[in-house]
Structure 1
Amino acid sequence: MQEHITIVEVGPRDGLQNEQQPISTATKLELIQRLAASGLTHIEAGAFVSPKWVPQMADSANVLRALPQDGAVAYPVLVPNEQGLDAALAAGAREIAIFAAASESFSQRNIHASIAESLRRFEPVCARALAEGIKVRGYVSCVVGCPYEGAIAPAQVAQVARALHDMGCYEISLGDTVGVGTPNTVLTMLDAVSLQVPVAQLAGHFHDTYGMAIANVYASLRAGLRTFDASVAGLGGCPYARGASGNVATEDVVYLLHGLGYHTGIDLTRLTDTAQFIAHALGREPASHRPAP
Structure 2
Amino acid sequence: MNDRVFITECPRDAMQGIKEWIETNDKITYLNSLLECGFDTLDFGSFVSPKAIPQMQDTARVLEGLNESDTKLLAIIPNERGAEDAAKFERIDFLGYPFSISETFQVRNTNATIQESLKRVEAIANICHKENKELVLYLSMGFGNPYGDAWSPDLIVTWAERLTQLFEVSRLSLSDTIGVATPALIQQVFSTILSESKSIQISAHLHTLPENAAILTEAAYTAGCRYFEGAIKGFGGCPMAKDELTGNMPTERMLDWFKVKNIETGVDPKKFTESFVTSSKIFH
TM-score by shorter chain over 0.5: yes
Q: Could you list the runs of 4 or more consecutive aligned residues of structure 1 that deviate by over 4 angstroms after TM superposition?
A: none
> Distance in 2 between the 1:175 and 1:14 partners?
12
Give percent identity, aligned residues only. Answer: 29
Shifted more, 174-183 versus 28-37: the winner is 28-37
> Distance in 1 between the 2:81 and 2:14 partners?
23
| Structural mapping, 1:19-168, within 5 Å | 19-68=18-67, 71-92=69-90, 93-149=92-148, 152-166=151-165, 167-168=167-168
Asked if the contact 1:119–1:163 (Cα under 8 Å) also holds between the matched residues in 2, the reply is no
Matched positions, count: 281
**CA shift at 1:200, angstroms?**
5.7
Unaligned runs of 5+ in 1: 284-293
SS at match of 1:194: helix
- CA displacement, residues 113-159 of structure 1 (integer Å, 9 cap, x when unaligned): 22222122111111221222111111111111212227821122222
- Give the residue type in structure 2 aligned to 1:178: I
**CA shift at 1:210, angstroms?**
8.0
> Distance in 1 between the 2:30 and 2:132 partners?
28
- CA displacement, residues 58-99 of structure 1 (integer Å, 9 cap, x when unaligned): 011111222356x41211101122211121122333321122
Q: 1:54 to 1:84 in 2, by over 3 A?
A: same
**CA shift at 1:201, angstroms?**
1.7
> Distance in 2 between the 1:29 and 1:210 partners?
27
> Distance in 2 between the 1:84 and 1:175 partners?
21
**Alignment RMSD (CA, Å):** 2.0
**CA shift at 1:215, angstroms?**
1.4
**Hey, what does 2:244 align to over in structure 1?**
243
**Hey, what does 1:259 align to over in structure 2?**
260
TM-score of the aligned structures, taking structure 1 as reference length = 0.89
Higher-RCO chain (CA-CA 8 Å, sequence separation at least 6): 2
**CA shift at 1:237, angstroms?**
1.5
- Give the residue type in structure 2 aligned to 1:89: A
**Hey, what does 1:290 align to over in structure 2?**
none
**CA shift at 1:10, angstroms?**
0.9
Asked if the contact 2:172–2:201 (Cα under 8 Å) also holds between the matched residues in 1, the reply is yes
**CA shift at 1:278, angstroms?**
1.6
Asked if the contact 2:102–2:150 (Cα under 8 Å) also holds between the matched residues in 1, the reply is no
Asked if the contact 2:210–2:234 (Cα under 8 Å) also holds between the matched residues in 1, the reply is no
TM-score of the aligned structures, taking structure 2 as reference length = 0.91
Unaligned runs of 5+ in 2: none
